[in-house]
Amino acid sequence: MHDFVTEGGLPYRATPFWLSLAGEEPEGCARNAHGVPIDPILAQALPSQAEAHTSHLELCDPLGEAGNTVFERAVRQYRSRILVRATGQCFLFCRHCYRRSLLPSELHFLDGAAIAALSQYLAAHPEVREVLVSGGDPLTASDAQLAALLEAIRSVPRPVLVRICTRAPVVLPARITPELVDLLKRFRPLTVVLHINHPKELSAQFLEKAEALLQAGIPLHSQTVLLRGINDAPDILIELFSTLTLKGIHPYYLFQGDLAPGTAHFRVPLSRGLAIYEALRRELSGLELPRYAVDAPGGGGKIYLPEGIAGRKADFWLLWASDGSIHEYPEEK
Ligand code: SF4
């Protein structure tokens, strides 16, 4: 694992496997005017000076999780679902993701008390039908840690769907061992949502591990962040989503970028995102087309695009959240 802290205080981490997917060596790689690598693999991993530029439009807590935290590391934005941030660790600290700036105190895996609190919460809230296990990347934990968490979820006497959100099969395919596949299989109903942004990430090693998970009866979905200079072209996304579908992975979400600090250079103007999505709609079948969505700035959950657009006010889009609240999302240059 390559690991250090940048001059700006943000952590860098990438696996040698991830870096091997790039078309050139990280050192001295070609970079654009913002200092961001041109190669889509390196662009997601290597820090750049552009991260030092924060905008007044950006938010420290872009998803408004603090206001929806029901107990340590557990966020509830919807009646039927709860999100558990199992760990702050990742195999890759993606440069577009605000989780790269988590505090050291948030990096460890959930302890016994937090896991017990989760099973008690689920027992007391029968309306919760789904637990999203996110992070960081939950598959950075050991099999024993994951088993303890999944056993706690399964201790409630009703079926609860478990959703594991991870980049591990893409970033470190070796983590998907036969033992891990068996463990996940044991805790079905369980689905895995893979974060994948570019066709270059679909390595032979990744596809082999994805097939192992599918063979074990674990459904796979993908989520993709629309990223400037990385995948903001219809032909790239068409290749990505059609290939995923052929491999049995359902393209689930295409996300408009969050307003995370120091990530403006990755965000695609919403007007362009809408035009790209329109091009995808024309070309992709219903099975291949993910939903385009944005997390409501400051909380309120997911807003589907273009359906959630309520109007425009100067340089801001007005977006309807499912709870009826209106949120502003900037139209950036
Ligand atoms: S939480 Fe996911 S997207 Fe964010 S840095 Fe970690 S692996 Fe990347």
Out of 13, 46, 97, give the residue to mutate to test ligand 1, the one with the largest number of ligand atoms within 8 Å of its CB: 97
Q: Is residue 88 part of a domain?
A: yes
Q: Is residue 39 part of a domain?
A: no
Burial group, residue 226, by CB count within 10 angstroms (0-12, 13-18, 19+): buried
Q: Is residue 35 part of a domain?
A: no
What pLDDT shows up at residue 257?
A: 96
Which stretch of 66-70, 117-121, 161-165 has the lowest confidence by average pLDDT? 66-70
Q: Is residue 85 part of a domain?
A: yes
According to DSSP, the residues that pair with 305 across neighbouring strands are 292
For the segment 75-94, the average pLDDT, to the nearest whole number, is 93
Tokens standing for 261? 């600090």
According to DSSP, the residues that pair with 85 across neighbouring strands are 134
Q: Is residue 180 part of a domain?
A: yes
Q: What are the pLDDT digits (tens) for 271-319?
A: 999 999 999 999 999 999 999 999 988 777 899 999 999 999 999 999 9
Q: Is residue 303 part of a domain?
A: no
pLDDT classification of 104: cutoffs 50, 70, 90:
low
Q: Is 73 left (phi over 0), alpha (psi -120 to 50) or beta?
A: left
Out of 167, 197, 223, 224, give the residue to mutate to test ligand 1, the one with the largest number of ligand atoms within 8 Å of its CB: 167
Give the position, in ligand 1's atom list, of the atom nearest the Cα of 225.
3
Q: Is residue 134 part of a domain?
A: yes
pLDDT classification of 119: cutoffs 50, 70, 90:
very high
Residue 331: half-sphere exposure toward Cβ, Cα within 13 Å: 13
CB 34 within 8 A of CB 48: yes
Residue among 93, 73, 72 nearest 9 (CA): 93
Residue 224: half-sphere exposure toward Cβ, Cα within 13 Å: 32
Residues with CB under 6 Å of ligand 1 are 90, 92-94, 97, 99-100, 135-137, 167, 195
- Pairwise CA distance, residues 238 & 278, whole Å: 12
Reduced to 3 states, what is the DSSP secondary structure of residue 78? strand
What pLDDT shows up at residue 31?
A: 96
Out of 1, 90, 230, 231, give the residue to mutate to test ligand 1, the one with the largest number of ligand atoms within 8 Å of its CB: 90
CA dihedral 254, 257, 260, 265 (to 10 degrees): 140
The domain that holds 139 is classified in CATH as: 3.20.20.70
Q: How far is the CA of 93 from the centre of ligand 1 (A)?
A: 6
Q: What are the pLDDT digits (tens) for 5-38?
A: 775 667 899 999 999 999 999 999 999 998 999 9
What pLDDT shows up at residue 211?
A: 98
Whether residue 234 has a cis bond before it, omega within 30° of 0:
no
What pLDDT shows up at residue 166?
A: 98
- Pairwise CA distance, residues 267 & 263, whole Å: 7
Which stretch of 6-20, 202-216, 250-264 has the lowest confidence by average pLDDT? 6-20
Q: How far is the CA of 157 from the centre of ligand 1 (A)?
A: 32
Instruction: Tell me what the pLDDT averaged over the chain comes to.
Output: 93
For the segment 63-79, the average pLDDT, to the nearest whole number, is 81
User: Considering its fold, how many domains does the chain have in total?
Assistant: 1
What pLDDT shows up at residue 174?
A: 98
Q: How far is the CA of 258 from the centre of ligand 1 (A)?
A: 13
Q: What are the pLDDT digits (tens) for 54-69?
A: 888 787 776 667 777 8
- Pairwise CA distance, residues 265 & 147, whole Å: 39
State the greatest distance between any 2 C-alpha atoms of the chain, in Å, as a whole number. 56
Q: How far is the CA of 135 from the centre of ligand 1 (A)?
A: 8
What pLDDT shows up at residue 63?
A: 67
Q: How many CB atoms lie within 10 A of CB 33?
A: 7
Q: Is the pLDDT of residue 102 over 70?
A: no
- Pairwise CA distance, residues 302 & 305, whole Å: 10
Q: Which domain does 236 fall in, by range?
A: 55-291
What pLDDT shows up at residue 287?
A: 98
Q: Is residue 200 part of a domain?
A: yes
- Pairwise CA distance, residues 170 & 17, whole Å: 9
Indicate which residue's Cα is closest to atom 8 of ligand 1. Answer: 94
pTM (two decimals): 0.94
* Cα R_g (the chain), whole angstroms: 19
Question: Residue 29: phi, psi to the nearest 5?
Answer: -65, 160
Q: Is the pLDDT of residue 171 over 60?
A: yes
